[in-house]
């Protein structure tokens, strides 16, 4: 049996062997509820201090750059973290889904990417430490998103060989991000919403280099995204092929998130649970299908999502559950209540391990 040696996050690995663990819900959905305007994205309205002068006169729109809020409106991010922790989340994700230099270049803020990750990790760390108890630890997952560019897909329909980013550029951006998340106090690193596996492989390579550089070794969680009913990632892989491509990283858990609600995601979680050996399984789906008339922008109520995920747990498919787009602390509380009595999926080991 192969076992990783962690300098941090071992308590999460131990917890996963005993019960189903709860990860938080959507950050973007909760930020939208604050209805922040352009000035507020630049720091206006933060109690006790003026708007961040570094961004007050920045050219171009910054509204919608959620990662920037860790610097300009930490009160908003702190409130969201605490809402999920109060709802029972064992793991909260840092507000860093788009905090790479590559993604931030769209706003002209690539120079601030490291600080965004460092501060975001510290905000999540502080929130977890406030809610943690001796018998209920809380964990910070440093989130590494997919970036808006793809290493294996052409952005030009007339030129299949065209690329707008290289593997080395992705790896460098992810390396900067991973180092800052580690320094800020993350317990685990989460490579999530993977629609291009080559991007994910750059992230995993960067994480390994960050471990070597920092002297730390954290558990790694990997979460892919099946984009439609074809059962494939955007870059064309099936769930089984995706696992074959990333299993070398020896993740603590592998799973799926985003794009689909739980009902449509179920056959792919079943497939992943069947083929993935030596690892736990995570699942945090959207709250069903998009619905602009809904308060969250998605159809499912907390009762809907929790009922569906209870089915996953009852079948012994999962170890980590939570929510993605459209989910709120109410969804997480409901999910936690419904899976509390279910046994976690037993890790399947290859006979040679």
For every residue of 66-118, DSSP letters joined together read GGGHHHH-HHHHHHHHHHHHHTT-SEEE-S-TT-SHHHHGGGT-GGGHHHHHH
pLDDT tens, position by position, 202-261: 999 999 999 999 999 999 999 999 998 889 999 899 999 999 999 999 999 999 999 999
Give the pLDDT confidence score for residue 155 in this predicted structure.
Answer: 87
- Of the listed ranges 109-123, 180-194, 217-231, the least confidently predicted one is 217-231
Give the pLDDT confidence score for residue 2 in this predicted structure.
Answer: 41
Structural domain boundaries in the chain: 10-34+69-340
Tell me what the mean pLDDT of segment 31-36 comes to.
96
Give the pLDDT confidence score for residue 160 in this predicted structure.
Answer: 87
Give the pLDDT confidence score for residue 292 in this predicted structure.
Answer: 87
- Which residue numbers belong to the known binding site? 258, 324-325
For every residue of 9-78, DSSP letters joined together read -HHHHHHHTTS-EEB---HHHHHHTT---HHHHTTTT-TTS---HHHHT-SS--TT-GGGHHHH-HHHHH
Measured between alpha carbons, how far is 237 from 281 in angstroms, rounded to an integer?
Answer: 18
Measured between alpha carbons, how far is 137 from 92 in angstroms, rounded to an integer?
Answer: 12
Say if residue 351's pLDDT is above 60.
no
Say if residue 353's pLDDT is above 70.
no
Say if residue 3's pLDDT is above 70.
no
Say if residue 1's pLDDT is above 50.
no
Say if residue 331's pLDDT is above 70.
yes
Q: Where are the beta strands (DSSP E) in 90-241?
A: 91-93, 139-144, 188-194, 220-224
Judge contact between 306 and 338, C-beta under 8 A. yes
**More confident of the two residues 45 and 115:** 115
Crossing angle of helices 113-131/167-184, nearest 10°?
Answer: 40
10-34+69-340 — its CATH code?
Answer: 3.20.20.330
Tell me what the mean pLDDT of segment 15-24 comes to.
97
Give the pLDDT confidence score for residue 321 in this predicted structure.
Answer: 98
Confidence of residue 295 (pLDDT cuts 50, 70, 90): confident
Q: Strands across the sheet with 139-144, in order? A: 21-22, 320-321, 280-286, 253-261, 220-224, 188-194, 139-144, 91-93
- Which residue numbers belong to the known binding site for Zn(2+)? 258, 324-325
Bridge partners of residue 290, in order along the sequence: 298
Say if residue 144's pLDDT is above 60.
yes
Say if residue 91's pLDDT is above 70.
yes
pLDDT tens, position by position, 47-82: 777 667 899 899 999 999 999 999 999 999 999 999
Judge contact between 178 and 144, C-beta under 8 A. yes
Judge contact between 137 and 11, C-beta under 8 A. yes
Measured between alpha carbons, how far is 102 from 104 in angstroms, rounded to an integer?
Answer: 6
Confidence of residue 276 (pLDDT cuts 50, 70, 90): very high
Tell me what the mean pLDDT of segment 37-55 comes to.
85
Tell me what the mean pLDDT of segment 21-42 comes to.
96
Judge contact between 215 and 168, C-beta under 8 A. no
Say if residue 349's pLDDT is above 90.
no
Give the pLDDT confidence score for residue 51 in this predicted structure.
Answer: 66
Instruction: Write down the mean pLDDT value for the chain.
Output: 95
Tell me what the mean pLDDT of segment 166-182 comes to.
98
Give the pLDDT confidence score for residue 336 in this predicted structure.
Answer: 98
Pairing verdict, β 139-144 and 320-321: unpaired
């Amino acid at each position: 049996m192969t076992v990783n040696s962690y300098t941090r996050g071992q308590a999460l690995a131990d917890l996963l062997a005993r019960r189903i663990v709860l990860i938080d819900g959507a950050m973007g959905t909760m930020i939208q509820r604050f209805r922040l305007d352009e000035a507020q994205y630049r720091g206006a309205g933060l109690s006790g201090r003026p708007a961040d002068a570094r961004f007050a006169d920045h050219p171009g729109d910054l509204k919608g750059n959620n990662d920037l809020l860790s610097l300009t409106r930490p009160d908003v991010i702190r409130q969201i973290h605490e809402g999920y922790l109060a709802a029972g989340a064992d793991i909260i994700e840092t507000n860093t889904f788009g905090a790479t230099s590559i993604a931030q270049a769209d706003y002209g803020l690539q120079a601030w990417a490291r600080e965004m990750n460092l501060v975001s990790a510290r905000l999540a760390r502080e929130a977890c430490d406030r809610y943690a108890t001796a018998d209920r630890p809380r964990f910070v997952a440093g989130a590494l998103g997919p970036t808006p560019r793809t290493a294996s897909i052409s952005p030009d329909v007339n030129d299949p060989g065209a690329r707008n980013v290289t593997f080395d550029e992705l790896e460098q951006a992810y390396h900067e991000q991973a180092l800052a998340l580690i320094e800020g106090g993350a317990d685990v690193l989460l490579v999530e919403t993977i629609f291009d596996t080559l991007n994910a492989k750059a992230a995993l390579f960067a994480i390994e280099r960050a471990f070597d550089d920092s002297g730390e070794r954290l558990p790694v969680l990997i979460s892919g995204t099946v984009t439609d009913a074809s059962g494939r990632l955007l870059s064309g892989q099936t769930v089984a092929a995706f696992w074959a491509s990333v299993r070398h990283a020896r993740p603590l858990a592998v799973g799926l998130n985003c794009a689909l609600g739980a009902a449509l995601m179920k056959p792919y979680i079943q497939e992943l649970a069947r083929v993935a050996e030596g690892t736990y399984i995570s699942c945090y789906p959207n709250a069903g299908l998009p619905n602009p008339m809904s308060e969250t922008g998605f159809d499912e109520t907390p009762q809907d999502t929790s009922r569906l995920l209870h089915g996953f747990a009852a079948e012994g498919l999962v170890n980590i559950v939570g929510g993605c787009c459209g989910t709120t602390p109410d969804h997480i509380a409901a999910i936690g209540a419904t899976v509390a009595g279910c046994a976690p999926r037993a890790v399947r080991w290859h006979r040679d391990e």
